C-alpha cells in the first residue's frame, strides 16, 4: 500500500493526469505478457461487491487479480447478500474490507455509494459504477484504448452519442477528455442530453466553452445531430476567438463513442428512434479515420455487420480492460509505484446531523436513500463568489448556499452579510433559502 496511506479510486479525479499516463505505460508492460505477473500480488485477495448486474467489469477485475497471482471472493447477486436483509453498505464494507479482503471493487445503484465504501473500508476501494454518477475504471480503459489507437489524447475530436444523461460512463469520460485537452461533440438522443451539473463542472474546472456543432451528414444519427454541441477546453489565447463562433464545423472525427439507452435508470421514455451506427454512417467522409467505441453491452445501437470493420474497437476496449485494471490494482496494493504527483484535493466542509442545513438535491444520492440512517451531510466549497457554491461530497451534485447560520446563536444571515463572513467555519450552517433555515429552527437576522 502507498506510503501515504491507502488510495481509493472513486472518481476519475482521484488520479492526476500524470498518474493516468504513467498507469498507461504500466498497462503496456502487463499487456506484453499477461502470464508473467503471477507472483506480483500473490497472497492478496480482492472482493467484488456488485449490487447491480455486470459481466465485463466484474469478470475483468477478477481476471486481472488472478493474473496478478491473487485470489478472488465475490458477492455478485444482491439478493443473496445481507443487503436484502437491510444491511447498510457501510457495515458490509467494514466487514469484508477487514480480514476477508485486501481490496474491494464495489458496484451500487445509488449515486455516491463508492465514496461511502471508501470512507468505511480499511482497504483500498475501486468504484465499479455507482448509480448514474461515475465509472472511473471504464474511463481509464476508454482513454487507454483511444491513446493506443491514436497515440495521443490532446486535440482529438470525440463524438459522444446516445444516452448522455444517465450514462455514468459518459460523465467520467467527459471530465477526463476535457482534462487531456480533447474536444467533445455531444450528439444526444432528444431528452438524454448531458446533465447541467456535468456541463457546469466542465465549464468551471476545465474552462470548457460550448458552441453549436455541425457534423454534416451522418446517416443513422440524424436525430441526434440536430442537437449537437461542441465542447472544447480552450486555452486562454484561444478563448476570445472561440467565443465569437456561433457554430463549429466538424469535418474530421477521431472517435464515435456510442452508448445504449440506460433503461434501468429512466422510466418509460420513448427510445423508438434511438440513434444507430451502420455501415452507411461510417461511409461519411468525416468518419474515414474514426474509431467506433462502446462500453458494452450493446443492444441495437451498433449494427452487427460493423463488427468486422477495422475501425470498430469496442471488443478491444473490453480486452484492454484487463491490463489496465491489473496496473491499477497493483498500484493501489503498493506493488508498483508511480513517480507522478497526486491530484490536489478540494477542502471538505462537514455538514451537521439531524437534517439541519443543506440537503443534496440529487434524489438518487446515497445521502437521500440508505445514508439517511448513518451519514453526516458533507459538502465541498467549490466557489466563494456570490452566491456560494458547494458540492455534495458523495455524489458531487452542486447546490447554492444563499444563507449562512450560526450553529450556536441559531441566527441566520444572507451569505454576503458582514456578520456571515465573521462566523467561524466550524460554526457555519449553510442553507439554500431563508425558509429552509426557519424550518430548521433558526431566526432570521433583522437587517
Q: How far is CA 16 from the centre of its chain?
A: 14
Q: Are 402 and 414 in contact (CB under 8 A)?
A: yes
pLDDT of residue 239: 46
Of the CA atoms within 13 Å of residue 357, those in its CB half-sphere come to 21
Task: Kindly give the parts of the chain with pLDDT less than 50.
Answer: 2-3, 236-241, 347, 349, 351-354
Could you give the 3-state DSSP secondary structure of residue 90? helix
Backbone angles phi, psi at 430, to 5 degrees: -100, 140
pLDDT of residue 354: 41
For residue 132, CA distances in Å to 113, 136, 224 come to: 11, 12, 21
Report the C-alpha gap between 72 and 108 in whole angstroms.
19
Beta strand 403-406 pairing with 428-431:
antiparallel
Domains and CATH numbers, the chain: 12-133+320-332 (3.40.50.1370), 137-314 (3.40.50.1370), 348-444 (no CATH)
pLDDT of residue 304: 94
- The CA-CA-CA angle for residues 287, 304, 250, to 5°, reads 15
Report the C-alpha gap between 50 and 44 in whole angstroms.
19
Contacting residues for 419 by C-beta, under 8 A, at least 6 apart: 413, 445
Place of cell 455538514: 351
pLDDT in tens, 272-284: 778 888 898 898 8
Query: Cell digits for 206?
Result: 476545465
Report the C-alpha gap between 405 and 393 in whole angstroms.
20
**Three state DSSP letters for 297-323:** CCCCCECHHHCCCCCECHHHHHHHHHH
Helix (H) or strand (E) holding 199: helix 196-206
Helix (H) or strand (E) holding 329: helix 314-332
Q: How far is CA 55 from the centre of its chain?
A: 19
Report CA Rg, the chain.
23
Interaxial angle between packed helices 56-67 and 314-332, expressed in degrees from 0 to 180 and rounded to the nearest 10: 50
| Core vs surface per residue 171-201: b (16+ CB within 10 A) or e | bbbbbbbbbbbbbbbbbbbeebbbbebbbeb
pLDDT of residue 240: 46
Query: Maximum CA pair distance of the chain?
Result: 72
Backbone angles phi, psi at 406, to 5 degrees: -100, 120
Q: Are 96 and 38 in contact (CB under 8 A)?
A: no
Q: Are 106 and 125 in contact (CB under 8 A)?
A: yes
Backbone angles phi, psi at 171, to 5 degrees: -65, -50
Strand partners, 349: 379
- Please state the pTM of the whole predicted model: 0.87
DSSP per residue, 372-440? GGTPPPEEEEEE-SSSEEEEETTT--EEEE-EEEETTT-EEEETTSHHHHTS-GGGEEEESSHHHHHHT
Could you give the 3-state DSSP secondary structure of residue 117? helix
pLDDT in tens, 84-99: 667 899 999 999 998 8
Amino acid at each position: 500500500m502507498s506510503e501515504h496511506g491507502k488510495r481509493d479510486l472513486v472518481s476519475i479525479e482521484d488520479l492526476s493526469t500524470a498518474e493516468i499516463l504513467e498507469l498507461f505505460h504500466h498497462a503496456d508492460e502487463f499487456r506484453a505478457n499477461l502470464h508473467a505477473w503471477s507472483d506480483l500480488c500473490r497472497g492478496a485477495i480482492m472482493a467484488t461487491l456488485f449490487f447491480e448486474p455486470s459481466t465485463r467489469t466484474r469478470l475483468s477485475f477478477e481476471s486481472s487479480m488472478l493474473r496478478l497471482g491473487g485470489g478472488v471472493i465475490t458477492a455478485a447477486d444482491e439478493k443473496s447478500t445481507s443487503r436484502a436483509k437491510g444491511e447498510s453498505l457501510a457495515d458490509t464494507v467494514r466487514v469484508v474490507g477487514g480480514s476477508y479482503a485486501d481490496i474491494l471493487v464495489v458496484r451500487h445503484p445509488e449515486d455516491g455509494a463508492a465514496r461511502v465504501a471508501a470512507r468505511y473500508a480499511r482497504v483500498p476501494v475501486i468504484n465499479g459504477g455507482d448509480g448514474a454518477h461515475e465509472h472511473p475504471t471504464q474511463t481509464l480503459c476508454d482513454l487507454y484504448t483511444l491513446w493506443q489507437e491514436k497515440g495521443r489524447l490532446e486535440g482529438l475530436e470525440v463524438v459522444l452519442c446516445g444516452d448522455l444523461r444517465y450514462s455514468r460512463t459518459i460523465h467520467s469520460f467527459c471530465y477526463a477528455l476535457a482534462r487531456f485537452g480533447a474536444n467533445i461533440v455531444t450528439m444526444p438522443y432528444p431528452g438524454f442530453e448531458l446533465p447541467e451539473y456535468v456541463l457546469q463542472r466542465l465549464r468551471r474546472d476545465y474552462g470548457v466553452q460550448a458552441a453549436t456543432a455541425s457534423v454534416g451528414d451522418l446517416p443513422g444519427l440524424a436525430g441526434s445531430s440536430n442537437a449537437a454541441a461542441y465542447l472544447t477546453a480552450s486555452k486562454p489565447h484561444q478563448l476570445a476567438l472561440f467565443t465569437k463562433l456561433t457554430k463549429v464545423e466538424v469535418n474530421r472525427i477521431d472517435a464515435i463513442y456510442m452508448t445504449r439507452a440506460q433503461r434501468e435508470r429512466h422510466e418509460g421514455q420513448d427510445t423508438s428512434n434511438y440513434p444507430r451506427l451502420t455501415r452507411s454512417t461510417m461511409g461519411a467522409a468525416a468518419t474515414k479515420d474514426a474509431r467506433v467505441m462502446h462500453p458494452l453491452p450493446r443492444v441495437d445501437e451498433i449494427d452487427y455487420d460493423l463488427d468486422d470493420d477495422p475501425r470498430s474497437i469496442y471488443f478491444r476496449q473490453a480486452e484492454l480492460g484487463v491490463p489496465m485494471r491489473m496496473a491499477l490494482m497493483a498500484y493501489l496494493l503498493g506493488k508498483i509505484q508511480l513517480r507522478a504527483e497526486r491530484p490536489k484535493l478540494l477542502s471538505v466542509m462537514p455538514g451537521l446531523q439531524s437534517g439541519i442545513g443543506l440537503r443534496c438535491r440529487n434524489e438518487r444520492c446515497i445521502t437521500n436513500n440508505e445514508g439517511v440512517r448513518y451519514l453526516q451531510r458533507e459538502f465541498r466549497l467549490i466557489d466563494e463568489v456570490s452566491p456560494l457554491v458547494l458540492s455534495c461530497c458523495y455524489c458531487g451534485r452542486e447546490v447554492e448556499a444563499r444563507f449562512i447560520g450560526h450553529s450556536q446563536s441559531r441566527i441566520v444571515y444572507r451569505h454576503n452579510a458582514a456578520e456571515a463572513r465573521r462566523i467561524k467555519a466550524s460554526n457555519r450552517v449553510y442553507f439554500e433559502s431563508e425558509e429552509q433555515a426557519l424550518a430548521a429552527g433558526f431566526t432570521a437576522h433583522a437587517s
